[in-house]
Structure formats: C-alpha cells, structure tokens
Amino acid sequence: MRKTLAWIMGAGSFLGLASSTLANGWNMPAGVTDVSREIYSLHMTIFWICVVIGIVVFGVMFYSLFRYRRSRGAKSANFHENTSVEVVWTAVPLLILVGMALPATATLKRMYDASEADLDVMVTGQQWRWHYEYLGENVSFTSSLSTPRSQINGEEEKGENYLLDVDQPLVLPVGRKVRFLMTSDDVIHSWWVPDLAVKQDSIPGFVNENWVRIEEPGIYRGQCAELCGKDHAFMPVVVRALEGDEFDSWLAERRKEAEAEASGVDREWSMDELMERGEQVYGAICATCHQPDGSGAEPTFPALAGNEALLNDRDRHIDVVLNGVSGTPMAAFRSNLNPVELAAVITYERNAWGNESGDVVQPSEIQALLEQ
C-alpha cells in the first residue's frame, strides 16, 4: 500500500515538474493562429503519448530488473521466439504511429493550402535584412535590424528586444488570410515567426508559399532560421498585426507616400528638401555604421564628415551608395532605397556636418543611373 502510494507520488511529481517546465517558456508557443494552435496541440498530444510510453516501458524494465534479480534466486527463461508476442509488439507501435500520422497529415494539408488569400506579400531575404512587397498595392520596404551597435558591442546594456527589433516591421491585418511568397536575392534564408507557426525557407530562384490568418493584434518577433553568413543573427523578423480597418488606413497611407515619392522622381528638388529627406534616411539606415555625426568608426567604418577624397569624387560617392563595396559591410542600396531616398542621402552626406561641396544630386539623375 505504502509502496503504491510512493509510486503514485513519484509519478505525480514528475508530471507536475514536466508541466511546469512546459509552462515556463521552455515549450513551443501556442501562437496566435488556428494552425499554430493545431500544431501546438499535436505537439502536446504526441509529447504525452511519448511520456506514457516511456513510463510504461521503463517501468516494466526497471520493475523486472529489480523484482527478478539474481540475488533473489531468479532464473532466466530460456526460450526462443513467441510469434504472438512479436505480432503484438509490431502491431501496437504501428497503430500508435498511424494514429499520430493521421491528425498530423490533416494539419499539414491545411498548412499547405495557400489558396484564396486576401493579401499577397512577397518576402525576399537579403544579406542581412528582409524586403517586403505588398503585391498589387505598390507598397514595398526593407526591414532591417534596429538594435544599436553600442548594445551589440557591449558598450551599453542590452535592451529588452535585443537583436529582435527592426526599423520597419511587416504590418499585417488580423482575421484575413495573408499569403507569403518567399524568395531570396542571395543565399538561402528562412523566415521564422514562432507565434505564427511559419518557418519557410527563402531560396534564390524559387518562390515558396506559406500563409497565416492572425487572430490577435500584437507584435510578433522571429529570426532568420537558416545560417546565411556573418550577420545571420542580425536579420530579425517583426510582424505588427493590426485590426482590419487600421491596417487598411496604414496601407492607404503607405500607398500615398509611394505615389508621392514616385512622382517626386521627375521633378527638380531643392537643396533644403533633399537635406531634410536625406537626414531621415541617413538616421534610419546609415548612422548605425557611419555614426549620426558622420564621424564613422575607424578603421572599420570610414568617416564621411570631412572625407576630402570622397567630397572630391562625386561619381564614386554615388557608385558606392548604389552598388556597395563588395566584401565589406557597405551594402548596395540600389534596390533597398528608392531614387528619391538615394539622391537625398547622398546630397545630405555631401553637405552635412561641415561638408561643403554644395553638390545637389537629383532623383532623376539616380533614376537614369538605375535604369542603365
């Protein structure tokens, strides 16, 4: 009696420990979509099946080892084969496996059905950022890490969302089916957001599909899940889920901005306009490396303030910003920034922080270079 009680208490405390471990953030999240919750419950069902099997198998094993030990005079049985036992221990696992495969397959089938989406988003991996394009909406932008360099270099305390923050999150509507078309410009990346139960490889030359229907507004974070080079850890994913009408007005706003920018390419911009726009772009993208005051961080990141060689060579300046410097952290910005942003940031760099080249770079000039 007391023995049984000890057994029950042992098993109970094991189960308690297991469930509290699971509840303490060690487990996968249940997520905020139908599919993610289905995956979670599959995971838990299979987990508990494994726990029960483990307890039964090891229980029988340890009990037999203990109960029939030699010091108590146990004699080993000496027989060969028992067809019915063999049939049972083959059939039972088979049934368990099939029983787990059936619901798992049904979920997989749902996960692969990306048809009839309300919104298409093209997701492109790039070393080391994500590019999002809302297909047919004329809205696209690049989402890059916004954790300050000083935190990465250990000069400042790490923030709450260290390496999980971006300048522009992907904004999605709640309650609508969003289809992702995933591809890559360079190497294989993987777009992964645990709360949405989406982890999809983005492969150059291929377009993979996936979809979500988010149920709760909120911020969901993830990371690139495919080792893609030096800054693999520095290309997080942030999804901001908004209610349908909020999303619609956000999208309309972005569309208007895009149209304004597009019409801005053809017109002549004034120095002041370019400087203002350029300061925004510089602060958002370039300042992490070249510093807000253009002083850089020698020897890795060259100073742009007072950089005579650069100021005397306008063409090289434009070329570096458009095409990057291969083999260095200086990326090509030709496809991540639009002509207005490119012209503005170059103009800004040539006239800010005491740089007095007086040069104006017009968006139309950049547009012509991009079309070459």
Partner 1 sequence: MWEVIKSVLAAFFGVQKERQRQHDFQHGKPGAFIAVGIVMAAVLVMLVAAVAIMAAR
Q: Binding residues for ligand HEC, per CB under 6 A?
A: 285-286, 288-290, 300-302, 304, 307, 310, 317, 320-321, 325, 328-330, 333, 345, 349
Please return the burial class of 57, using the count of CB atoms within 10 Å of its CB with bins 0-12, 13-18 and 19+: exposed
By rule CB under 8 A, what string of x and - marks binding of each residue 47-86 to partner 1? ---------------------------------xx-x--x
Q: Give me the helix-helix angle, 2-21 and 34-67, nearest 10°.
A: 150
| CB closer to Cu ion, 93 vs 229 | 229
d(CA 258, CA 114) in angstroms, rounded, equals 28
How many other CB atoms sit within 10 Å of the CB of residue 99? 13
- When CB distances are held under 5 to 8 angstroms depending on the partner's kind, the choice from ligand HEC, Cu ion, partner 1, none that residue 317 binds is ligand HEC
By rule CB under 5 A, what string of x and - marks binding of each residue 316-345 to Cu ion? ------------------------------
CA 35 vs CA 39, 131, 197, 208, 294: distances in Å:
6, 25, 7, 18, 47
| CB closer to ligand HEC, 163 vs 289 | 289
- When CB distances are held under 5 to 8 angstroms depending on the partner's kind, the choice from ligand HEC, partner 1, Cu ion, none that residue 349 binds is ligand HEC
Q: How far is the CB of 358 from ligand HEC (least distance, A)?
A: 17
Q: How far is the CB of 124 from ligand HEC (least distance, A)?
A: 18
Q: How far is the CB of 210 from partner 1 (least distance, A)?
A: 18
Reading the block at residue 151, the tokens are 């935190």
Q: How far is the CB of 304 from ligand HEC (least distance, A)?
A: 6
d(CA 304, CA 112) in angstroms, rounded, equals 49
Residue 53 near residue 107, CB atoms below 8 Å: no
d(CA 182, CA 165) in angstroms, rounded, equals 21
Verify binding: residue 101, partner 1, rule CB under 8 A. Answer: no
- When CB distances are held under 5 to 8 angstroms depending on the partner's kind, the choice from ligand HEC, Cu ion, partner 1, none that residue 189 binds is Cu ion
Instruction: Kindly identify the residues of this chain, within the stretch 106-125, that bind partner 1 according to CB under 8 A.
Output: 109
What is the enclosing helix (H) or strand (E) of 251? helix 244-264
**3-class DSSP state of 342:** helix
Please return the burial class of 348, using the count of CB atoms within 10 Å of its CB with bins 0-12, 13-18 and 19+: buried
Verify binding: residue 259, partner 1, rule CB under 8 A. Answer: no
Q: In this chain, which of 212, 228, 360, 366 binds Cu ion, going by CB under 5 A?
A: 228
Q: Give me the helix-helix angle, 339-351 and 363-371, nearest 10°.
A: 120
Q: How far is the CB of 163 from Cu ion (least distance, A)?
A: 13
- When CB distances are held under 5 to 8 angstroms depending on the partner's kind, the choice from partner 1, ligand HEC, Cu ion, none that residue 228 binds is Cu ion
**3-class DSSP state of 303:** coil
- When CB distances are held under 5 to 8 angstroms depending on the partner's kind, the choice from partner 1, ligand HEC, Cu ion, none that residue 109 binds is partner 1
**Pairing of the two strands 139-143 and 178-184:** unpaired
Verify binding: residue 193, Cu ion, rule CB under 5 A. Answer: no
**Contacting positions for partner 1 (CB under 8 A):** 80-81, 83, 86-87, 90, 105, 109
